[in-house]
Amino acid sequence: MKFCLLLGAVLLSVLLFGCVTMKIKIHYPKTATTNQVDVYHGITVKDPYRWLEDDNSAATKAWVEAQNRVAFDYLATIPERAAIKARLTELWNFERYGVPFKEGGRYFYYKNDGLQNQSVLYTLPSLESEPAVLLNPNKLSTDGTVALSGMEISADGNLMAYGLSVAGSDWQEWRVRDVRTAADLPDVIKWVKFSGAAWTKDGSGFYYSRYDEPTEAAKLTKVNYFHKLYFHRLGTPQAEDKLVYHRPDQKEWSFGGGVTEDGHYLIITSGQGTDTKNRVLYQDLQTPDAPVVELLMDFDADYSFVDNDGPVFWFKTDLNAPRHRVIAVDIRNPARENWKEIIPQAAETLTGVGVINHQFLCTYLKDARSQVKMFRLDGKFMRVIELPGIGSAGGFAGKRHDTETFYSFTSFTTPGVIYRLNLGTGQSREFRAPKLKFDPADYETQQVFFISKDGTSVPMFITHKRGIKIDGQRPTLLYGYGGFNISLTPAFSVGNLAWMEMGGVYAVPNLRGGGEYGEAWHQAGTKLRKQNVFDDFISAAEWLIANGYTTPKKLAASGGSNGGLLVAACMTQRPDLFGACLPAVGVMDMLRFHKFTIGWAWTSDYGSADNAEEFPALYKYSPLHNLKPGSKYPATLITTADHDDRVVPAHSFKFAAALQVAQAGPAPTLIRIDVKAGHGAGKPTTKMIEEVADKWAFLVKSLEVNPTLGGK
């Protein structure tokens, strides 16, 4: 009711003063330029904003402050913003649960009361017991910017190793807590990145991975090389941790350690950048000082360790199976001719495998929708687990002897409902469901297929309020990603719900580069084929227009990280196609991305400007290098954060500076730079509400959205 009243007041002001279409003269900060020039394979490329790469310089900090003043002053003038923020706060305030899991006979789960900045971790000895708080991250900082970034419970359920991230940084500090007392032990592990923790069976310590300590000035930008796997014994200082494995001859190799459920083996998975292929090594933990044995070192496929039956290791792999299958490798006879196929490749994409209740529980994607099947350990099919509907299912954790597991089921219109699955009968029953302040039945989702530029059929989910008139004038938000084998499946978002409540359409195409149809689909959107991803997104926009949903004037594009690159590339290639663009934490400089933090790892998807064959393709679509002065670009709100050490903010800084100079049209080109925030993980609820309110207010103004569109 409060939101309706606010919207009514806004509407009255629109009718009286026409404030939605009111033009505001923006005075952008003048960005200094330099004569920096680089030569790539005989091609001269100017980089006048190189100085913005130095996040520690006084000049860069002053530029950030000036740009933020312009952006926040502009956003503050949009009258609808207050109503949008109020409704977002109301919708966000609902109790929600994470998927429970069990360790050492105890249950653990996350819960958020509604507007808590960070979810709280609880534990209980049985499902009928009163839960106790194990860790409340909200008490670790006053503004919610310290987040729990990872945790692992020991096999007996008595100890928890947990990681903390400050201000959204990828750097983590790990500690140990006694589950029985909720008190911390003195152990502290620093400079951990891209790692979990793996306890030994006896709980004497855990394995983790880290980089060498950087300097304070370079910790958010310095390139990350030479990952190392360590073992930390409880009660000892980090300086005494044992270096288990590293490769000083291979600076790009990363390492992750995992201990088998029986405690017999340490499984070491070695990746190289973001390539889906990997290597596998192991160590016999039953033999003191046993050597690390190289098992799968050809780097020819993805080998995801599932479980072991003594010396027989099960792997999910895409070797000769782009949609994945399950194989068995006997480490006593590891030659390839001795490998056995347990579960063959299916028509659907196999995304996850676990061994629970002495059965394989397999999750699949069928046209980007979840499907769950169970098989015997010899690979014989048993049953399909019936899911509550069309959506995404996740969870399914457990041990081999467990007779139950839990999973979450969500869709574009329903937040996660937790189900308890009886593995003996295959029956699910609702365990926890959020209490909502809206009715999911008021919304509908359909899946369509459109044809991309080269004739490829691409699926797209379209969600909106049920019964709205599709009249060709609907404000429409097109969201995409298309990279790194990541699949976009139905997922609930409070922000998207508020957008649809205002009458907006929300569309999600499953672009090439993702993992929805296996490795072939992924590879079709990488390196020299990256343009396919942009063509898919552009074709999705054209389909929405051709099929009467919207017009370019009412169409917005949105995406983050690799999706931020997607949006920026598409707006430089087709500025006529969009009314507004929201590129978030994007990779904008495709010639220099590999020179910062973990950027080098993305060359498996993008290629590298250092490669003469790949440079022309990167240069052709790099957003920073394809802005054309004198062009009319859509209204653009770039978002980034000062502690983003995944995609360093210099990408967005340089793109914003170049866009403001190139823009010849009247549409605003702003950059919003969050402080004490990173790439996105662990962002406090308060910051998320503020950011979404700014984005939707920007779209309401830019697309000239009538705020009464919340009705039918």
Which entry of 149, 169, 270, 561 is annotated as an active-site residue? Answer: 561
Contacts of 553 (CB under 8 A, 6+ apart): 579, 703, 704
Q: CA 680, 686, 689, 692 torsion: positive or negative? A: negative
Contacts of 555 (CB under 8 A, 6+ apart): 476, 478, 541, 544, 545, 577, 578, 579, 580, 703
Give the C-alpha distances (Å, rounded to integers) separating 37 from 33, 44, 611, 613. Answer: 12, 7, 18, 21
Task: Return the closest-CA partner of residue 362 out of 304, 401, 415.
Answer: 304
Element (H, E) at 535: helix 531-546
Instruction: Find tokens 């590129």 and name the residue.
Output: 583
Which entry of 324, 643, 651, 679 is annotated as an active-site residue? Answer: 679
Residue 115 tokens read as 């507007």
Is there a contact between 99 and 109 (Cβ–Cβ < 8 Å)?
Answer: yes
Q: Is 561 a catalytic residue?
A: yes
Three-state SS letters, 330-386 = ECCCCCHHHCEEEECCCCCEEEEEEEECCEEEEEEEECCEEEEEEEECCCCEEEEEC
Give the C-alpha distances (Å, rounded to integers) separating 422 from 184, 354, 394, 406, 429. Answer: 35, 15, 16, 9, 8
Task: Return the closest-CA partner of residue 662 out of 575, 553, 535.
Answer: 575
Question: Residue 396: which region, alpha, beta or left (left: phi > 0; alpha: psi -120 to 50)?
Answer: left
Give the C-alpha distances (Å, rounded to integers) separating 11 from 6, 15, 154, 356, 469. Answer: 9, 6, 57, 56, 20
Q: Is 27 a catalytic residue?
A: no
Q: How far apart are CA 654 and CA 648, in angstroms?
A: 11
Q: Which amino acid is at 529?
A: R
Is there a contact between 154 and 160 (Cβ–Cβ < 8 Å)?
Answer: yes
Residues known to be catalytic: 561, 679
